[in-house]
Structure 1
Amino acid sequence: MYWLSRHRLQLLTVLVMVTGTVLCAVAAGHYAWRRALGTESAQVQRQLQLYGQGLQQRIDRFGTLPQVMALDPDLLHALQVPPSPAERQRLNLKLQRANQVTRTSTLTLVGRDGVAVAASNWDQPTSNVGEDYSYRPYYQQALAHGRGRFYGIGMTTGVPGYFMSEAILDADSQRIGVIVIKIELSALEQEWLNSPDVVLTSDNHDVVFLANRDAWRYRLLRPLGAEERNEMRAARQYADRSLQPLRVRTEDVLADGGRMVRLLDPPLPQAMLWQTLALPDEDWSLHLLHDASAATSAGRGAAVAGAAAWLALGFLVLFVQQRRRLSKHRQRSRRELETLLKQHAQELRTAQDGLLEAATDADVGLSRSLEHLPQGVVVIDKEQRLVAWNSRYLELFRFPAGLVRVGRPIEELFRFNARRGLLGPGPIDEAIERRLTHLRSGRPHMRESEKDDGTVLEIRGNPLPDGGFVTSYADITSYKNAARELRSLADALEHRVAERTQDLDEARREAEQANRYKTRFVASAVHDLLQPLNAARMFVSVLRGKLSDPAQQQTSDHIDAALAAQDAILNSLLDISRLESGSLQVRVRAFALSPLLETLAREFGIAAQSRGLQLDWVDTHAVVVSDEALLRRILQNFLSNALRYTPRGRVLIGCRRTGDQLRIEVHDQGPGIPESLQGEIFEEFRRLNDGVEQERGAGLGLAIVERIGRLLGHRISLRSTLGKGSVFAVSVALGRADEVIAPPAAPVIATEPSDDSPLRQCRVWSIDDDPHVCAATRALLERWGCHVELADGPQGALEIASALNVPQLLLLDVRMGQWHGPDLYEALCTLWQARPPVILVTAERDDALKAHAAENGWGFLLKPVRPPALRALMTQLLLRHRG
């Protein structure tokens, strides 16, 4: 009882503070939660209206289609007169074309008896043709009222969709059949996937048939009656789908009709805000479940703020009361302190007398206050006489007994140490005087001194306020030894680092040299491989001209295609070698992108049609800054892969602006690329296994794309979805239209030589160190009517060359053993005393050599040579030379 009476005021204060804090927290939290919940509910209603508009617009887009189709005379005729098989087929094709244009799911013509007469999916295994749909509500509604609407699962296709029907009237306005369109709304569910909320659509039976989460689809929002179940069973609306109930518990109802609910099945961990929007045109309801944890968080924050405000107010009141009490305590304490001070003053005078006596006694011995220090310490007064020291000072200098005492001049200790050699070399008097002068100056100092036994002392001196001096002596021998060892270790590490750096430089030089050897080896190997390939393609061209049997010509085409594929692989290897060695020259300039896209679309469009695919492209007015030839290589590889891995559907190439960049994209509808393989496909010889088997590449295209993109500074990107397709893209800098330089005119491609062609009876020399290439070139040129005077190596050409047999045209290889093509040409021109036109035919992709040929007006072709290109270039050079 005594304790309670004593602390009654404190307990009452704590009770008021706790009770007020709880009440303020609850009131503020509830108010803020309600306010935030109302704001979120209004936002959810707006979002729900947007979803409803999107759903209604998708349906309205096809709303007039059944009415238009019902006016088609062909459909009316097919219902009036049973169509023949040919007429039925034409009708199926017409519905199929209309379906492709309108992009619906299916179009079906149903007769008066409810049996489908024709359908757009006539060629599918799940064709509607011949099926009985008389039990479907959309059919019954159309015959009864002229039109019908119904959502359900297709009994033939098994795909859910929204059916819209329109009755077809004869001349007497009698309903003799129905045209039905089906649109799939699954795309809406895909769009709703981007929403963090749960979006549902239910029919007039409160069955959820659209949802952005699979677990919510085909759920019952309320129990169904027996009549409703019979109606749905007769219409087979949801086929064999199991309709599970949606278990939900309502916790609160808002003023605007929204509800706070707790989902039990399918379960959700948090309470949800449920809003519903009616769609009267379709007799549907659109629902949106929103996570209301933000409102709960706002309520918690407001509760904390309310509690903090109450506590702050309470503490302010307590603080004011405490200040008043403290003011009274100070006045009382001041009086008590005055009394204590008088007592302490007397005690201090008594203690001072004792200290004076103790100081007098200390003059004859060591200073106890300095004994705890690890350094040796000595104190002198302004007369340079000893005042105090510690035992460590005596140990360091090993003074004899009786030498160190109070009042002895410090000069005597200096002189004693000097006789032992502790003051260093030189005259003793000068060393002593130098130290005494420093002590008289009163300046602080620090230095190191090493004794004969290797001990290193750190000496620090500081003046005292009364003119004396205190000096400390610290033994730092171990520290100095460790520093010397660290310095030695650092020198050793520095030496090892220098050795390793030298080894790394040597390894880098060896790696660079090996890379140069590899590049030269690849170039030489590709050159040697292209020689027989060049000869083979020429022989095939000659052979095809002599074949009349179509089967044999087709075999010849297959051989040429195989050689072309081998040519592409070798060229890709050579391109990779040039990109890695840095020898590929880049010509970056501003140019209009539209002509490049149009050319690619035209070239690859033919290949797409041959595979049954559709290649679309989107025109652009953009100007980009890049190397046009290398950018073409990137897009060609993208398109080639897209056609190779798209079994059916379409391929699209187009552009998107992203800031100061233009992203050129190629979309396909292939099988997609797993995320685990998206990084590997840009490596050499990496291929996926789901392309067209007979057209699988070597796995070098994307490796070249990645290196070209890195060389040009273009970002290569990929996004892919399994089962839907992939998008390859390259980002290029945008340019200005005034920076565009017109490209040179394209050379004229010559046709097959006619009787008056410049190639007829043209005297041609072909110089190559490969006999097979010489033989193939001779056969090809003679087929074109040329007179081949020489088809041999460099030595044979030099032996017969003279002013009497100057050719009209020279085909010249570049690398021929010790001979270089341009050097051999100069030697032959000296023997001919003339300079006939020349075409350099080489496997070396050397930009400098190509530029040299252009400066001199020479032709330039890369091996393996395509006969049409060689024929065109020969015709062009002969016409130019004659002119």
Structure 2
Amino acid sequence: MLLSMLVVGWLTWRHALLNESEIFQRQLEVRAQVLTQRVDRFRTLPEVLSLDTELRQALQRPLTAKDVDYLNRKLERANGATRSSTLTLINKQGIAIAASNWHAPQSNVGENYSYRPYVQQALANGSGRFYGIGTTTAVPGYFLSQAIYDDTGNAIGLIAIKIALQELERQWPNAADIVFVSDNYGVIFLTSREPWRYRLLRPLTHAAQIQLAATRQYQDEQLTPLHLRLRKQLDNGSRLVDVQDPDLPRHMLLQSVGLLHGQWQMHLLHDTSTSATTSWWAAGAAGGLWLAGGLLVLFVRQRQRITRLRLRSRQELETVLQQHAQELRTAQDGIVQAAQQADTGLSRSLEHLPQGVVIIDANLNLVAWNSRYLALFRYPPEMVRVGQPIEDLLRFNAKRGLLGTAPMEEAIQRRLGHLRSGKPHLHESEKGDGTVLEIRGNPLPDGGFVTSYADITSYKNAARELRSLADALERRVEERTHDLTQAKREAEEANRYKTRFVNAAVHDLLQPLNAARMFTSLLPSHVHDDAGRHVADSIDAALASQDAILNSLLDIARMESGQLEVHVRDFALDSLLHVVHNNFGMLAESEGLKLRTRSSHLIVRSDEALLRRILQNFVSNAIRYTRQGRILIGCRRAGNHVRIEVHDQGPGIPESLQREIFEEFRRLDEGHADDRGTGLGLAIVERLGKLLGHEIGLRSTLGKGSVFWVQVPLGNAQTLQPAVRPSTVTHSQNDAPLQGGVAWYIDDDPQTCAATRALLERWGCEVPYAGGPHDALVIANAHDVPQLVLLDVHLGKNLYGPDIYAQLCEQWGQMPPVILVTAERDASLRRQAAERGWGFLAKPVRPPALRALMSQTLLRIRED
């Protein structure tokens, strides 16, 4: 039994492994084909650009700054059309003279790439391929290059395209199965498991180390070994390996396939626990069969004694069986015999049957029938008698049209031939009066035929009614489905209209609010008594509250429309708690409260900005509703999650209101008289929790306080990236960057222009122009170029701020720095401004933020 269990388990395990390896080999080939197609899709672009006359001429003559700018924009347009990463034009010396990322801080223009293999391959062989980390951008990608030749056939340069392949990793499985790609050195550079990036499948030779250092393929990345040990080679080429990783199964199945003519290899690691479980079950089943067989042998041996006693009666039993078989063979003949004994052919033994029955002998003559048969076909009395040929009855039926539309003789002979063949049959026939008959025929053992006719008209009518009812129901279902689809479409359209309305309304409200904020910032310089300053502070506080309400409404609209971007990553929780404490420490102290924060060493996985927004709402509400005592921010670990809690000693929340306070514009009356809140903070918290997948909760006791909490999953400390401290610009108190600065302000709102000009002039900045886009285009000239441009994005009448800026730069002949001042909160617009090196401020603008950003920009200009 043990031996059979071992053999069956081993064979099952081997068979299961082979099946799994074939399945995952096909999956791996599909993924390899996708990667190959992605690379080959971009192959034609450098080949086409290498034939471009302008690029060829640019490599054969000295270039001016205007020529370089034209080439940069040409490559940028080509790169944008193909959605590749970067296009670069390189001369014969390996110097990049133009690139599509010319406007980026880390542009390729002017860099020397002569050491790169794709440059050397293209100049030597006409084309090249190479994967590596960009020395300029530090972004990995796959480089395809094509040589550019002069009229004599000599290579004068090349065009290179860099393809970003990292987005393929998001399509790969994020589970126990791992997909990764290695180069010909055995270095893993694409993987669904981030800690494995830049790991080695085999040790590097000395020559490989020299080659990698010369080409700077992986820059300063530390290439560490990935410990995989081969256990067994399967017949189909798959391998069983041992993986030394605490987060993965120890034994896994490794599949590999070649890519790009053998330059790369794609691998798939699959968990073999399913095959092991199958083999254990098979071994258990084999053991069970052995046990069952042993019990069966014991049972048989016990029954042998009883069997010997029954041997004498076996002959008698066989005799009885033979007699019974004989009776069965002659059972059908009893019907014929009963009919033959009757004088008229009517058989009493057939009268109880609801079907019409007729029996004929081997000579196709009538033997017996019942009255139901006569009633169905209404034969004349003298025609139906014992010995009457069945052919006469068929001919009589044919004359009445009961045998179908075929010629009469052909229909009769076909039925007679079927009766002579002795084959059973079953079919339906409809008579002229609408009666439907089910005709079933069976041959007799000694020749002859028995045919029964069952009236199934009612059954057929019911079936037709059911089909009609089903068709009607199906039409009604289609109509209801169409109505539901239409209603859903109308609801979605109404939701989109509501979102657009909220965005437009907030945008229009922010314009005059921005002007009001600018004017109120000027009040302190014109008011010199305490009462006036108190009024100015009250106005500023009221505008700040209105700003908070509009921003909250805009955030809710962005979340409902799905426009709020989420960037989930692993980060240290303690730094976030430190920021929240610093933001609210002085506010709590001014209200006579103590704010305490417990530090934490945990790593969490979330969107840091959105999670900070949730905690800031919790702490702000705690300060607003706590009259005295303290507020505590702490963490509790719960399995694979951490619960961040904010405790207060406020009045508490009744259980009946604990659900309602998370709705829009729901607030309690226990807050400070001058700060009751907008009723939107907790509504935003609940939506942010759903957006991030974090559970939001509350527990409260009347008279003792409340605890608001959010539960966040723990992160991986190994993937944590070191924080980069922002550079700071220090200058003396006497250094005033805005003094003597020249700035233009372009906006379609006259009040905002007037307020901003007054504010900037108060800071010592010259504002030669503050108005709309049309007048700015009229007065712009090369002799009066501002040092800085403050620009709105939407300038009315379908005018777009960046387009107006491009036209002004053509008239100025220069590109002064830009700060976008807009009511748009679109994340893509903010990202676009950052890519171009522009500043960005959202309306309504806080004057301190505007002054700091302008000062920093002007200082950077003077340092350059």
**Normalization by structure 1: what TM-score?**
0.57
Q: Is the 8 A contact 2:588 2:595 kept in 1?
A: yes
Q: 2:763 aligned to 777, 784, 797, which one? A: 784
Query: Aligned to 2:674, what secondary structure does the other structure show?
Result: helix
Deviation at 1:586, TM superposition (A): 1.6
User: Is residue 738 of structure 1 aligned with residue 718 of structure 2?
Assistant: yes
Partner of 2:575: 595
Partner of 2:743: 764
Distance 1:653 1:371, change over 3 A: farther
Partner of 1:726: 706
User: Is residue 561 of structure 1 aligned with residue 541 of structure 2?
Assistant: yes
Aligned counterparts, 1:224-243, within 5 A: none
Q: 2:461 aligned to 470, 473, 481, which one? A: 481
Letter in 2 for 1:842: T
Deviation at 1:776, TM superposition (A): 1.3
Q: 2:490 aligned to 478, 494, 510, which one? A: 510
Letter in 2 for 1:774: C
Deviation at 1:825, TM superposition (A): 0.9
User: Is residue 809 of structure 1 aligned with residue 788 of structure 2?
Assistant: yes
Q: Is the 8 A contact 2:502 2:554 kept in 1?
A: yes
Aligned counterparts, 1:329-340, within 5 A: none
Query: Aligned to 1:694, what secondary structure does the other structure show?
Result: coil
Matches of 1:723 and 1:710, distance apart in 2:
30
Letter in 1 for 2:598: V
Distance 1:455 1:763, change over 3 A: same
Aligned counterparts, 1:639-678, within 5 A: 639-678=619-658
Partner of 1:681: 661
Deviation at 1:748, TM superposition (A): 4.7
Deviation at 1:659, TM superposition (A): 2.6
Partner of 2:859: 879
Query: Aligned to 1:602, what secondary structure does the other structure show?
Result: helix
Distance 1:444 1:611, change over 3 A: farther
Matches of 1:686 and 1:367, distance apart in 2:
91
Matches of 1:513 and 1:845, distance apart in 2:
22
Matches of 1:803 and 1:680, distance apart in 2:
61
Aligned counterparts, 1:149-168, within 5 A: none
Distance 1:438 1:358, change over 3 A: closer
Q: 1:820 aligned to 779, 800, 804, which one? A: 800
Matches of 2:347 and 2:663, distance apart in 1:
83
Deviation at 1:708, TM superposition (A): 1.8
User: Is residue 615 of structure 1 aligned with residue 566 of structure 2?
Assistant: no
Q: Is the 8 A contact 2:336 2:368 kept in 1?
A: no
Distance 1:363 1:737, change over 3 A: farther
User: Is residue 836 of structure 1 aligned with residue 816 of structure 2?
Assistant: yes
**Structure 1 residues 619-668: Cα deviation after superposition (integer angstroms, max 9, x where no partner):** 11111221111111111112222222333333222222223222222233
Distance 1:644 1:438, change over 3 A: farther
User: Is residue 398 of structure 1 aligned with residue 378 of structure 2?
Assistant: yes
Matches of 2:760 and 2:354, distance apart in 1:
106
Distance 1:750 1:579, change over 3 A: farther
Deviation at 1:490, TM superposition (A): 3.2
Partner of 1:173: none
Deviation at 1:783, TM superposition (A): 1.6
User: Is residue 542 of structure 1 aligned with residue 522 of structure 2?
Assistant: yes
Q: Is the 8 A contact 1:519 1:581 kept in 2?
A: yes
Q: Is the 8 A contact 1:748 1:872 kept in 2?
A: no
Q: Is the 8 A contact 2:549 2:678 kept in 1?
A: yes
Matches of 1:551 and 1:775, distance apart in 2:
26
- Unaligned residue ranges in structure 1 (runs of 5+): 1-347
- Which protein shows a greater Rg? 1
User: Is residue 700 of structure 1 aligned with residue 667 of structure 2?
Assistant: no
Query: Aligned to 1:699, what secondary structure does the other structure show?
Result: coil
Matches of 2:755 and 2:335, distance apart in 1:
124
Q: 1:423 aligned to 400, 403, 412, which one? A: 403
Distance 1:363 1:564, change over 3 A: farther
Distance 1:403 1:647, change over 3 A: farther
Query: Aligned to 2:791, what secondary structure does the other structure show?
Result: strand
Query: Aligned to 1:650, what secondary structure does the other structure show?
Result: strand
Letter in 2 for 1:780: L
Deviation at 1:755, TM superposition (A): 4.3
Partner of 1:161: none
**Structure 1 residues 332-385: Cα deviation after superposition (integer angstroms, max 9, x where no partner):** xxxxxxxxxxxxxxxx9xxx9x99997764353433333333322223344433
Deviation at 1:842, TM superposition (A): 0.6
Letter in 2 for 1:769: D
Deviation at 1:868, TM superposition (A): 1.1
Matches of 1:639 and 1:481, distance apart in 2:
75
Distance 1:750 1:842, change over 3 A: farther
Q: Is the 8 A contact 2:648 2:706 kept in 1?
A: yes
Q: 1:774 aligned to 747, 753, 772, which one? A: 753
Query: Aligned to 1:766, what secondary structure does the other structure show?
Result: strand
Matches of 2:802 and 2:506, distance apart in 1:
21
Deviation at 1:387, TM superposition (A): 3.4
Aligned counterparts, 1:187-206, within 5 A: none
Letter in 2 for 1:392: R
Deviation at 1:476, TM superposition (A): 2.2
Partner of 2:481: 501
Aligned counterparts, 1:90-105, within 5 A: none
Letter in 2 for 1:577: A
Distance 1:460 1:590, change over 3 A: same
Partner of 2:586: 606
Partner of 1:63: none
Query: Aligned to 1:616, what secondary structure does the other structure show?
Result: strand
Percent identical pairs in the alignment equals 68
Letter in 2 for 1:667: H
**Structure 1 residues 731-768: Cα deviation after superposition (integer angstroms, max 9, x where no partner):** 222211121224453475989x9543110011111111
Matches of 2:431 and 2:465, distance apart in 1:
20
Letter in 2 for 1:767: I
Q: 2:504 aligned to 483, 501, 524, which one? A: 524
Distance 1:374 1:527, change over 3 A: same
Query: Aligned to 1:641, what secondary structure does the other structure show?
Result: helix
Distance 1:782 1:455, change over 3 A: same
Letter in 2 for 1:660: N
Query: Aligned to 1:689, what secondary structure does the other structure show?
Result: coil
- Unaligned residue ranges in structure 2 (runs of 5+): 1-326
Deviation at 1:847, TM superposition (A): 1.0
Partner of 1:637: 617
- RMSD over aligned CA atoms reads 2.8
Deviation at 1:567, TM superposition (A): 0.4
Distance 1:481 1:827, change over 3 A: same
Partner of 1:715: 695
Q: Is the 8 A contact 1:376 1:391 kept in 2?
A: yes
Letter in 1 for 2:494: A
Deviation at 1:722, TM superposition (A): 3.9
Query: Aligned to 1:741, what secondary structure does the other structure show?
Result: coil
Letter in 2 for 1:703: A
How many matched pairs?
Answer: 532
Q: Is the 8 A contact 1:750 1:871 kept in 2?
A: no
Matches of 2:639 and 2:665, distance apart in 1:
35
Distance 1:418 1:699, change over 3 A: same
Letter in 1 for 2:795: M
Deviation at 1:549, TM superposition (A): 3.1
Matches of 1:453 and 1:745, distance apart in 2:
97
Query: Aligned to 1:695, what secondary structure does the other structure show?
Result: coil
Deviation at 1:561, TM superposition (A): 1.5
Q: Is the 8 A contact 2:359 2:448 kept in 1?
A: yes
Distance 1:382 1:610, change over 3 A: farther
Partner of 1:457: 437
